Structure 1
Amino acid sequence: MRVDDLKLFTKVVELGSFTAAAHALDLPRANVSRRIGELERHLGTQLFHRTTRSLSLTNKGNVYYQDLQKALTLLDSANEQASSESVEVRGKVKLGLLPETYELIQPILFDFQDQYPQVELDVRNITNGFIDMFQQGLDI
């Protein structure tokens, strides 16, 4: 079972016919019919009532369509989030600064924050770098 076939099924339901879905997706009508038939065989149930003049969902087809819409929405959201995370840097960085270094580092932190707005900087004042780093769980 392919995700493309599941999306094809939802397109057929939304447009009300194999022909309309075929036109919308620029596919041969026979290809759409074959793929829906394969999906039905894979599921072991009939999804549509077919006549020469009409197409309607079976009860199982309707339930499947409702659940599938939710699943495909979640899948699209997960795919979008995964692809955007690879491009966008985000997270939290715990940073410890000695009081005498704050004025020197401040412009660098502002530039960093402008470049990576999804990164949360947790800036803390420390007095002893190495000891405070471990006690406060600092990253830098």
Structure 2
Amino acid sequence: MDQLLALRVFVRIAESGAFSKAADSMNIPRPTVTKLVQDLERHLGTKLLHRTTRRINVTPEGTAYYERAKHLIGELEDMDENAARARARPQGRIRIDVGSVLANMILIPALPSFRARYPDLHVDLGVSDRPIDLIGEGVDCAIRGGALVDTSLVARRIANMDWVTCASPLYLKARGIPSHPHELMPRAADATDKTRVPGHAIAGYFSSLTGRAFPLEFHKGGEQVLVHGQVEVAVNESTAHLSALLAGVGIGQAFKFMAAPHLESGRLRTVLDDWTRPRQPFHVLYASNRHLAAKIRLFVDWVAEVFAPFDDQ
């Protein structure tokens, strides 16, 4: 039995709650993962995990063993990192998860500079806008915008980004240019008609978790307006949302940096310019662990450099 590998597998199962997740994140066949745990339990003479058809629970003995194993693996990683720093050639593979537009417009174009600086560090880049479980999915760090939900993660702010409200010229020619956010809401046809008719179409962005479209948000002085509006087309991915705006399906809000090239070319036009939406913070997130790998530290520092020009604050 490779006891060190078995320890790593057990720790990953305890953190992710599934044999399959541990196998996938470590790129090990699932039968091998099962056998390693069985061999480890046989070697120790005790059950570490209680397995049912529905879930996996760590036994009391397994919990105590997990804490010691996690500490030991951290110490070993520190030894490896110190040796790597001594060679001044950071090596290995780092797994990152980032939203679609951030990946395509900011991170991927800059990756050649990272590879030139650290040629022995290889990047696995997961591109999605969905929330992820860093530990459970074996992700080293993620780049996300908005409010921080998981307080167990370390978050380093890398940018605050402005929004613009915009639409295609073809849409505005067909539906008109709004002068107030209230015009984006469904309204009565007249004072006596209770029928609701759409004021404008909204190019919506909906949550991958709830399936509900996020409202458009407008601020002016002390006034705040949230617009749900008539969402005729909604997507849950940022690149697709930009494509929907360019296609003319409706009015929407996008980050200024992603709309800027299309505003310059005339494919998009801003509306309601005297109303603003609060800047959105973006963070790079990683697990809270005093044994932070040198390769992750290097990547986080590099990401902060890359995003600095996009910080509207």
Give secondary structure in 2 for the equivalent of 1:49. strand
- Flag the structure with more relative contact order, 1 or 2, with Cα contacts below 8 A and sequence separation at least 6: 2
Mapped pair 1:48 → 2:49: yes
Matched residues in 2 for 1:3 and 1:82: separation? 19
Tell me the CA shift for residue 85 of structure 1.
3.0
Deviation (angstroms), 1:82 = 2.8
Q: CA deviation at 1:24?
A: 1.6
Distance 2:85 2:60 in 1: 38
TM-score by length of 2: 0.27
Q: After TM superposition, where is structure 1 displaced by more than 6 Å over at least 4 residues in a row?
A: none
Equivalent in the alignment of 2:82: 81
Residue segments in structure 2 that go unaligned for 5+ positions in a row: 90-313
Matching residue of 2:38 = 37
Structure-2 change in CA distance of 1:87 and 1:24 (3 Å): closer
2:303 aligned partner: none
User: In 2, distance between residues paired with 1:41 and 1:22?
Assistant: 20
The sequence identity of aligned pairs, in percent, is 34
2:53 alignment partner, SS class: coil
Deviation string 1:72-120 (CA, Å, 9 cap, x unpaired) is: 11111012213433559xxxxxxxxxxxxxxxxxxxxxxxxxxxxxxxx
Partner of 1:57: 58
What's the CA shift string for 1:36-88, capped at 9, x where partnerless? 10111111111001111111000010000011111111111012213433559
Indicate the residue corresponding to 1:14 in structure 2.
15
Secondary structure in 2 matching 1:36: helix
Map Cα deviations across residues 1-52 of structure 1 (whole Å, 9 max, x no partner). 4312211111111110111111222222211111110111111111001111
1:78 alignment partner, SS class: helix
What amino acid is aligned across from residue 62 of structure 2 in structure 1?
Answer: G
Query: What is the number of equivalent residue pairs in this alignment?
Result: 88
Q: Secondary structure at the match of 2:33?
A: helix
More helix, by proportion: 1
